Amino acid sequence: MDRADALAALNRKILGAYSARTVAALRASLATRLALPYLEPALELNIAKEVRKDALVIRRAAEAFATGVKPTAETAQELFVATQAIDEDFLQRVDALPVRICIRYDEIEPVRVSRIRYVLFGAHRVFAAWTGRTPLRQALRTAYDEAEFEVLLSVILDLYARETRVVSRSLRLPATLMPVAERAAQHLSKIMADAGTRLALDVAHGLYRN
């Protein structure tokens, strides 16, 4: 496993924990309980999509560092275009579910590009601090202090929640559940925002204090 794979693996664990906390809160909520059997499979596919997109961005950051070239806003825009192929695969998988989703790029683009930039520049900073046989945790501590890392992760997760909010507004459930769909989407947004803030704090504590 190279350094890009190691950082992508950590990111995958963080997003997995984010998804698990979100689903647990949805299960406990009356506002989303009826829609959950339809929402949960779509959320699982969505988190897998985000893991793939982030891995692509992290790999590009590693390549940029290896060649001595700093990533730019143009790099982020190129990555945004590249992520659309992952979206297409996601939509094909969603077609097998009893829900329908439309990805509105005119609304999503500014949010996703912003998130790509944070992941891209953040990962590049970690690779720059990762010297010798230093473990990943030490590289993170060198690149960021605890408060900086918590803020960075919180912002990245919030941007993910904001993109999911846009996508959820286009969600089409079976006709009998459409009356609760909008309420479920609004509640999902709040749950994801709360889960992201708490998770960023917990991850930062775990990486910097243990």
Q: What are phi and psi of 16, to 5 degrees?
A: -65, -40
- The secondary structure element, H or E, covering residue 106 is helix 105-129
Whether residue 61 has pLDDT greater than 80: yes
Q: Return the closest-CA partner of residue 125 out of 101, 159, 158, 148.
A: 148
Residue of higher predicted confidence among 42 and 148: 148
Distance, CA of 192 to CA of 124 (rounded, Å)? 26
Q: Cβ(90)–Cβ(46) under 8 Å?
A: yes
The Cα 206–Cα 19 span in angstroms is 18
At residue 30, does pLDDT exceed 80? no
pLDDT at 39: 75
d(CA 5, CA 55): 8
Residue 177 to residue 9: CA distance in whole angstroms = 36
For 131-158, write each residue's pLDDT tens digit: 988 999 999 999 999 999 999 999 999 9
Q: Which residues pair with 100 in a beta bridge?
A: 172
- Which among 28, 22, 88 has a CA at the least distance from the CA of 53? 88
Percent of the chain whose predicted confidence (pLDDT) is above 70: 89
**Region 62-91 average pLDDT:** 95
Burial class (CB in 10 A: 0-12, 13-18, 19+), 153: buried
The mean pLDDT value of the chain amounts to 89
pLDDT at 17: 96
pLDDT in tens, 80-122: 999 999 999 998 888 877 777 878 899 999 999 999 999 999 9
Reply yes or no on whether the pLDDT at 36 is more than 90: no
> In the numeric block, which tokens belong to residue 16?
């997995």
Residues in the chain: 210
| pLDDT-above-90 percentage for the chain | 62
User: What digits encode the pLDDT tens for the residues 161-193?
Assistant: 999 888 877 666 665 556 666 666 677 778 898
- Measured CA to CA, the distance from residue 2 to residue 187 in angstroms comes to 39
Handedness of CA 175, 183, 102, 82 (dihedral sign): negative
